[in-house]
Amino acid sequence: MSFRPEVEAFIKNFVKDLAENNVAIFAGAGMSKGAGYVDWPELLRDVAAELGLAVEKEVDLFSLAQFHVNALGSSAGLAKKILEEFSEQAEPSLTHDILARLPIRTYWTTNYDSLLEDALKRACRVADVKHSVSQMNTSRPKRDAVVYKMHGDVTVASEAVLHKAQYERYYRSHESFITALSGDLISKTFLFIGFSFTDPNLDYVLSRLHVQNAIRPHYCFMRREVVTDGEDEDIVKYKARKQELRVDDLKRFGIQTLLIDG
């Protein structure tokens, strides 16, 4: 089987890093959506409606979440949404299972669900899950992998990172996560899957490392924008052009994008 040159190069380099235990996975909402969970727009659809807004018209979803907190005077409503959406049972996808079977010891995610650790358990691997600052100074005995859930976990939804004010103070409130992620981005090759690169916390870390010229090569999978039946061709062309610009911009951070069709 023959691949495009950039894919051939990815396979060669990634397999080499796997053999040297220098690989980390960053799982975004797209991976969980593939297993049946909602993504951020769907999670906030009812929240937007309560505010008299339409989620499909909003770009800054972190501010949208903040508006809801401002209106209610607390984040309890958002925490309840997380509990409702992510307490339902879902099976890890084929992607989760493949990643869990590979010799990878470091997994990062902004997702609240337990799909990564469930997949590792199915692969008979012991996962050391860290979703709070207090867990960063301890290690689970005989662990095979570490799963960093930098925005929290559904089991403690009240502590999850949800709205803009939390993102703004994250570098102080979750400094240990910032430090650990910065170190991994310097020492390991990351593969980003299902990630939109709109997260302010990751952007903060990547920007600092970029300024320090401390970025090593990373990769991400991104679905190619194509015209499908029923879609407006001009809108898809616009999205495709924006994707081209986004792919080019990610190169600033040493991230090479591999466009896939599905």
By annotation, the residues acting in catalysis are 151
Q: Give residue 106's identity as a one-letter amino acid code.
A: T
Both tokens of 90, joined, read 């879902």
Q: Which amino acid is at 41?
A: P
Strand order in the sheet with 218-223: 127-130, 145-149, 106-109, 23-27, 189-193, 218-223, 255-260
Could you tell me the sign of the dihedral formed by the alpha carbons of 99, 7, 246, 17, in that order? Answer: positive
* Cα radius of gyration rounded to whole Å, the chain: 19
Distance separating alpha carbons of residues 155 and 196, to the nearest angstrom? 25
**In the numeric block, which tokens belong to residue 79?**
């925490």
Rounded Cα–Cα distance for residues 192 and 197 (Å): 9
